[in-house]
Structure 1
């Protein structure tokens, strides 16, 4: 191969990992004019930590003050609000209440509000116990006080990440599946050995999430951080329960975790979770009956009326925590490498801000796209009209979530088509409702036959029901 051909085959940026952070990174570098390739080891995007979260767009009011995390959440929150209408992304502006249930917790509220103001969230407002009950009359006994954070909102976490990556792809980026990074050599540029072949790039950005430390060791010989997977389990109540809470109900946070949240979802359910359980396994987030029962009991203590509502789904996910609390972002300019590690539960909110920050770590002049293309995502949120309300939709396939055949067909095509059944679920919400696919699994198997990299069987919906 000639020297000119070798240059043509060398990407500007290789992003390792197609979670929400990797998708945002691909978008930012592409819009700034870089030639980008995204390397994903799975057969679908959002297949690791990004497949399970609480779907909250945080303001960063409770982030550690003065940290990169706080800065990126604030910037990511602002950019999501700036671009979301153009991309068709939902935003349920419900606000949050940080609720104290004991006198000791109530005594900590002023310091938490001071920290929020230090993080630039200066519209927090204290509430007495009576004022809290006026805003949320269904709260259980024992409320000692609260404060309100108006900017906390609910979004669809998967359509956001899909939109970021789709914009990168329609503007020239490339995506390779089954491309686990096995090693690499840097000699002025990177030669990456992947399971899908060799990839050359001038800059490598490691956004491999739960495997970030392993990837860093494979590329540099040692890792500067160690992933310590943290499992979060969730309980999802039926749509009838969503009317019980107007706000995101947050606990007074602990030293290690934000605690258990009760909130609506953009899809019209009511969500409880997550737990925070350390484990060694990076791949499997097993559900535990006793823990799920604890979540139910805690939720029903917060909102006693939940006791009369049905749980329609349970799921668990892993967060890529590390041995330190903060984000582990590090640039090695001498060999064109940036690590984006330890992006825990705030990754959804911080992704766009992180992408801008990481772009600033690469001292490389680029020519931003003058008139980039913008994708528009299908709406799955209950806050705006859905496809089932429009004519010519082919009929409803999944009646629990009111997903049409046209929506399913669209999710199997386009710049970022579903490649697995789990990916189809995240794009459409098929089988995520009350019957968990019992009624529509066979029809979905017929529609998707020969069109998925991992074919589904007629009963696959039930088997994958935990990937809510």
Structure 2
């Protein structure tokens, strides 16, 4: 079973949290030459808010004009387009349609288009009802008008941060999982952090703890400038034949609280509907609510009536680390610490931009090494898959066509999976229509002794 030894050497930067933002931060600092350690309390990365989202690379067209969020989404979007090929990350060109379903929503479209242009997204184009239906013939009859945002894409929300952190490791970063920060003290020069794996000393700290960001601030600084207000989003995922019902990301007219219910394809060949936006107190409760899911299903069928003839493969929920204010809560503290809080549903798109922004706030200059560009395995249905190549050792999960070679690579790579949830996010094993019914036995045998959280232990996936 993998083990991690206590770390007592000094680092330049300690990143707390290995969600998508923490992974992007580790990459940026490590590529700039910093000695980086990532501290993640879960058994594997992406185990918090980052594990459940819509997998969309947004332009930020509907972000508040002039906001830090708009700036960082634009920067993150641009850098993802610049680097995704080098890291072997998928990008499914689709574009988005912002669709008005009521008279009031139709009246709001021109203002939203002006907002998009003010945010630098100048290629939006209006569509009358006939043009809209020519693009999306399966749309419900109530659709009145829309505008198109061409540069919205579908991506793999788990492969991206895995690639970021793998690249950080290639530049010398240390990643400690199952490693909770329990206390810390800034002595005027360095941070002395106590963790469940022993002491860690770092010159500076970046708090990217997501749903626990305010609590980490209180623990380390004795104060926090915000409070996390968890927001649950539930999703319905349809089986692969539904993939062809829509070619665009179908967006509603957003509200002040949420982007609303989205219908879109996934790069894994499915079609999803969601998320909801449910305020709650719990930071861990991602349970499913049947009446809410039924309402979500009904709304999906109003948008695409043909969904009534398609089966549902999976249901899931994620928690977003919202705060009492809508904007990002990125705070630079005099104690050589930066807090990255309030990163909600746009975190996947903004992560690389956030990393640029936080790095720019750091005065230190290190000796940047020659860039290394590792690649991550592809699990997107829209590209060549491992099962299509010889010597893969057999297909282990037939629903998602995951090979034994892919599973072994995920267990033996530079950042090996340490839990079933982590293995799922690297390969999609057990995530198909049978939900692991047929392959769980073989998978348990293959992973025996390799996971810090064995498959026999109950876990929230």
| Common fold: TM-score over 0.5 | yes
2:159 match? 159
Does residue 238 of the first structure (1) align with residue 239 of the second (2)? yes
1:380 match? 379
User: Residue by residue, what CA displacement relative to the aligned partner does 1:442-468 show, whole Å, maximum 9, x if unpaired?
Assistant: 1101110111111113xx8xx77x84x
Does residue 403 of the first structure (1) align with residue 402 of the second (2)? yes
Q: How many residues align?
A: 453
Q: CA deviation at 1:9?
A: 2.2
CA distance in 2, matches of 1:94, 1:348: 17
2:276 match? 275
1:78 match? 78
Q: CA deviation at 1:382?
A: 1.2
Q: CA deviation at 1:255?
A: 1.1
Q: CA deviation at 1:330?
A: 0.6
Does residue 292 of the first structure (1) align with residue 289 of the second (2)? no
Q: CA deviation at 1:432?
A: 0.7
1:136 match? 136
Does residue 196 of the first structure (1) align with residue 205 of the second (2)? no
User: Residue by residue, what CA displacement relative to the aligned partner does 1:381-404 show, whole Å, maximum 9, x if unpaired?
Assistant: 111110000000001000000000
Structure 1 gaps, min length 5: 1-7
Secondary structure of the residue aligned to 1:363 is: coil
2:358 match? 358
Q: CA deviation at 1:320?
A: 0.3
Does residue 45 of the first structure (1) align with residue 40 of the second (2)? no
CA distance in 2, matches of 1:367, 1:228: 40
Say if 2:229 and 2:322, in contact at 8 Å, map to a contact too. yes
Instruction: Give TM-score, length-normalised by structure 1.
Output: 0.96
Does residue 223 of the first structure (1) align with residue 224 of the second (2)? yes
Once superposed, which parts of structure 1, at least 4 consecutive aligned residues long, lie more than 3 Å away? none
User: Does 172-181 or 24-33 show the bigger shift?
Assistant: 172-181
CA distance in 1, matches of 2:269, 2:177: 32
Secondary structure of the residue aligned to 1:78 is: helix
Say if 2:330 and 2:341, in contact at 8 Å, map to a contact too. yes
Q: CA deviation at 1:178?
A: 2.2
1:69 match? 69
1:252 match? 253
Correspondence list, 1:90-105, <5 A: 90-105=90-105
Taking only aligned residues, the RMSD between alpha carbons, in angstroms, comes to 1.1
Structure 2 gaps, min length 5: 1-7
1:308 match? 309
User: Residue by residue, what CA displacement relative to the aligned partner does 1:99-124 show, whole Å, maximum 9, x if unpaired?
Assistant: 00011100000000000001110000
Instruction: Give TM-score, length-normalised by structure 2.
Output: 0.97
Does residue 390 of the first structure (1) align with residue 419 of the second (2)? no
2:115 match? 115
Q: CA deviation at 1:80?
A: 0.5
CA distance in 2, matches of 1:212, 1:326: 15
1:5 match? none
